Structure 1
Amino acid sequence: MEIQATPLGRTVNGAPSYNIAMITDFFYPQPGGVELHVYHLSQKLMDLGHSVVVITHAYKSRTGVRYLTNGLKVYYVPFLIFYRETSFPSVFSCFPILRNIFIREQIDIIHGHGCYSSIGLEAIVHASAMDIKTVFTDHSLFGFADVASVLGNKTLAFSLSDVGHVICVSHTCKENTTLRARIHPSNVSVIPNAVIAKDFAPAPDSCAVAANTSQADAHDSITIVVISRLYQNKGADLLTAIIPTICESNPKIKFLIAGDGPKFIDLEQMREKYALQERVQLVGRIRHEEVRSVMIQGQIFFHPSLTEAFGTVLVEAASCGLLVVSAKVGGIPEVLPEHMSVFADETSEPAMVDAVTKAIQIVTEDRNYTANFHLEVKTMYSWMDVARRTENVYHLVTAADAAKDRSEEPNRRTLKRILKFYYQSATLGGKLYALCAVVDMFVYFFLELFLPRHQIDVARKWPVHRKGDDEVDG
């Protein structure tokens, strides 16, 4: 897909340049896959000559405007936190401050992240009223049967009814999102996550020794590493159930578990019940920069998650030279080649135990089995590649917007889209969505009337230049 130009008129080294707002509830200092994705993608987009700001909710004392590496500006807005670090879904109350930021930063493209992020979805809805181009990235899989899924899917369908383009991190995620949000597949692209391979280099044999083991014991035993948030959907219950079985069948197996969550207490109780204090080490929550130091202490990485759209931690583990064990759920089978993984056919205790046992046998028979994993991962994933593909999506939505009839005022054009959506929908929910969108237009009208944009100071931009291929690395 080749896009020829952009109507914005700003270029850096001859290439189009955009002012981009990454909006999500999930960002630093909280660790996680979405947080890493937003940070690294923003950094690489800045290397490509774009101006990027991140908008998220405040984290305790971290409020206001902060600057991160390379001049990445972050707005920590004091929104009310609702559940698991997501802001309260207020629909209209966040519009005034978001509009203020969009005008201050002269935003061209709003890029929301995460279907669980209230602020990200609301920003996309408000962008329609302001006639700002939008892109949304879905990082998760969601169900269809329970009440929470039904309500979440209805909200997603409303929020993305007028989105410019959608990005999913795997083909499984794309299928899931198109069904949940009722989006045509042609309006959805697949762009995977990535890792900085040099930050996850395997350690020399002399360093791959756990702190509480001797050199001889380390080469004789096998350590299984688990790094995960300890929640039910991440397979924490399954992990608690299979550890005693695996430890009983093989006395040379040890577990190193990093992560925190409501299921942490269950792991502690399991360890006490089966007297596995010397074989199961619980290190709790760790920072992302500590992930490698934990991974290189093991030979196998176990990922018991019940659902996963991509699983960046699997790529990190393989880059560190670990054999990955997981179930064939979500987009996980798309992440790594078959020789780097051992899959269980289902997320049941017997199937997972069999998969771990098979991985133990592989590593025991050949200690150098994973020796080339790092070099292979280095050629497969690159954040610069992710950024360039995302940039192509920005070109696409910009070119599509340029093709629209410019003879009409933006507000009238937006209202026509709203009315079209209203008449095409035969459900009560669709009419409610259209009503919300019309109200949003009136809110925007009154904001423009009582707080005109010429009274809002325009922020000075951090100097950017588009780096060449020889200046950037994956």
Structure 2
Amino acid sequence: MESLKIALVSDWFFPSVGGIEYHIHDLATQLTYLGHDVHVITRSGTYPDENLPYEVHRFKGRITMDGSHVSIGTDMLKKVNELYKQEHFDITHGHSIYSPMAVGVANLSAGIRCVPSIVTGHSLLGDSILNPVYIMLLRFSLRKVSSFIAVSNAVEKDMRSILGKSLRNREIYLIPNGIDTDFWKLPEDKEELKEAIGLRGVVITTTSRLTKRKRIHVIPKIAKRIKEEYGGDVTFMIIGDGPERSHIERLVREYGVGDIVKLLGRQPREKVREYLQASDVYLSPTVYEAFGIAALEALACGVPVVANNHGGISEIVEHGRTGLVSHNDHELVQNLMSLIANEERRQEMSKNARKSVKNRFNWETLVLQVLNAYERTMEQADEEPFALYKLHQMLKREIANAGVFNL
């Protein structure tokens, strides 16, 4: 494939950190390494963009919601339109159908600039009484997107349900998130690392944004049950921050597990890797996980995962081989206890976990799948602009031909 000029677009990018942010960074880095000209288009924010191996363009909309890391407005899209006139992109790749910037620029790209667009679904819709409204808005706003990528079977099923007949004959490519297995790797000596960090016993780690949807608030109750069974020879580490932090801290006090539950807050990527390498089990209590990139990072570090059997995470955890998946919280606790009690099984799963990630989720393979989706999207895309834009261009030409601007 010849070198492409690619626009990766999302509200969610550095300096905020999370699965989508790092996915965009890793994808942009891999594409750049292969010789493509990559540009990330995102909201305003302070970050040393000049240190990144690709171009970053930041725009601020008239309406900015800092808590959600979202910026929207027609003035912003006008500025993005000027960028498109200047750069002549070959394809636009939006990230998250719930990102206003990703969807807005994807529509601008395909509907005004006639540049094919593809959008990756990274999340599940979940349950809400407002879902019918959300679905109607999504069907309308995604109508001009050329094709889609789903990061898991669960996300693909969710997207097909959301789009319904409006999907028409557009493709949904199933391409999981990739991971840098040179960065996320096994420790040289886990016990030595534990001692250096000051950890003891079996270490159970969770990395997540602290929101209701992630269900991190159930961990203090789980820790109480584990403490009753194993005493203080177990340590729970919760890495991340968010609006639920004060609630979780209160539950830690109420359940009397402050001695074994550590809330470490947001940590740099290198520190997260260190904590994972010192861990014996990764715990994921969420039931709305579209993919589970944090769990994938744990697996790459040789940490078996105990998770709920919902969403995309059950697609990356091989039950009984790289971890244990559960149908409810009671089973989640039972599975966790079984791994705490069986060091030999943990070690066997650790070996399998690392192999599984290197075989199934390495970037070298997945970036080629993304490029194939780009190529097919460019071949099949409908290059017809929006009807209103065609009318606007026609009127503009008629006025110019009439000599109005030459008065």
Q: TM exceeds 0.5?
A: yes
Assess if the C-alpha contact under 8 Å between 2:280 and 2:346 holds in 1.
no
What secondary structure, in the 3-state scheme, does the structure 1 residue paired with 2:325 have? strand
1:368 positional shift: 5.3
Structure 2 counterpart of 1:230? 210
Structure 2 counterpart of 1:197? 181
Q: What is the alpha-carbon distance in structure 2 between the residues aligned to residue 122 and residue 42 of structure 1?
A: 20
Which AA in structure 2 matches 1:129?
I
1:58 positional shift: 0.9
Structure 2 counterpart of 1:67? 50
| Bigger relative contact order, structure 1 or 2 (CA pairs below 8 A, ≥6 apart) | 1
Q: What is the alpha-carbon distance in structure 2 between the residues aligned to residue 135 and residue 19 of structure 1?
A: 14
Structure 2 counterpart of 1:468? none
Which AA in structure 2 matches 1:362?
N
Which AA in structure 2 matches 1:122?
G
Q: What is the alpha-carbon distance in structure 1 between the residues aligned to residue 44 and residue 209 of structure 2?
A: 21
- From 85, 88, 94, the equivalent of 1:112 is 94
What secondary structure, in the 3-state scheme, does the structure 2 residue paired with 1:25 have? coil
Aligned CA distance change for structure 1 residues 57 and 444 (closer, same or farther; 3 Å): farther
- The answer to which of 236-245 and 32-41 deviates more is 236-245
Q: Does 1:130 align with 2:97?
A: no
Which AA in structure 1 matches 2:213?
N
CA RMSD of aligned residues (A): 2.6
Q: What is the alpha-carbon distance in structure 2 between the residues aligned to residue 283 and residue 449 of structure 1?
A: 64
Structure 2 counterpart of 1:101? 83
1:386 positional shift: 1.8
What TM-score comes out, normalization by structure 1 length? 0.76
Assess if the C-alpha contact under 8 Å between 1:240 and 1:266 holds in 2.
no
Structure 1 counterpart of 2:402? none
Q: Does 1:334 align with 2:315?
A: yes
Deviation by residue 1:11-53 (Cα, 9 ceiling, x = unmatched) = xxxx322211111001112111111111111111122222110
Structure 2 counterpart of 1:53? 39
What TM-score comes out, normalization by structure 2 length? 0.88
Structure 2 counterpart of 1:44? 30
Q: What is the alpha-carbon distance in structure 1 between the residues aligned to residue 119 and residue 97 of structure 2?
A: 9
Aligned CA distance change for structure 1 residues 131 and 367 (closer, same or farther; 3 Å): closer
Q: What is the alpha-carbon distance in structure 2 between the residues aligned to residue 178 and residue 223 of structure 1?
A: 39
Q: What is the alpha-carbon distance in structure 1 between the residues aligned to residue 344 and residue 7 of structure 2?
A: 49
Matches within 5 A, 1:242-281: 242-251=222-231, 252-281=233-262
- From 334, 352, 356, the equivalent of 1:354 is 334
Q: How many aligned positions are there?
A: 392
Aligned CA distance change for structure 1 residues 384 and 184 (closer, same or farther; 3 Å): farther
What secondary structure, in the 3-state scheme, does the structure 1 residue paired with 2:262 have? strand
Assess if the C-alpha contact under 8 Å between 2:284 and 2:306 holds in 1.
yes
Q: What is the alpha-carbon distance in structure 1 between the residues aligned to residue 18 and residue 97 of structure 2?
A: 15
Structure 2 counterpart of 1:31? 17
Which AA in structure 2 matches 1:43?
T
Aligned CA distance change for structure 1 residues 365 and 118 (closer, same or farther; 3 Å): closer
Which AA in structure 2 matches 1:151?
V
Assess if the C-alpha contact under 8 Å between 1:363 and 1:369 holds in 2.
no
In structure 1, list runs of 5 or more residues that go unmatched: 1-14, 405-409, 419-437, 451-474
In structure 2, list runs of 5 or more residues that go unmatched: 400-407
Structure 2 counterpart of 1:391? 371
- From 394, 400, 414, the equivalent of 2:385 is 414
How high is the sequence identity, in percent, across the aligned residues? Answer: 23
Q: What is the alpha-carbon distance in structure 1 between the residues aligned to residue 105 and residue 397 of structure 2?
A: 17
Q: What is the alpha-carbon distance in structure 2 between the residues aligned to residue 387 and residue 172 of structure 1?
A: 21
1:331 positional shift: 1.1
Aligned CA distance change for structure 1 residues 446 and 52 (closer, same or farther; 3 Å): farther
Which AA in structure 1 matches 2:207?
I
Aligned CA distance change for structure 1 residues 213 and 67 (closer, same or farther; 3 Å): closer
Q: What is the alpha-carbon distance in structure 2 between the residues aligned to residue 198 and residue 446 of structure 1?
A: 56
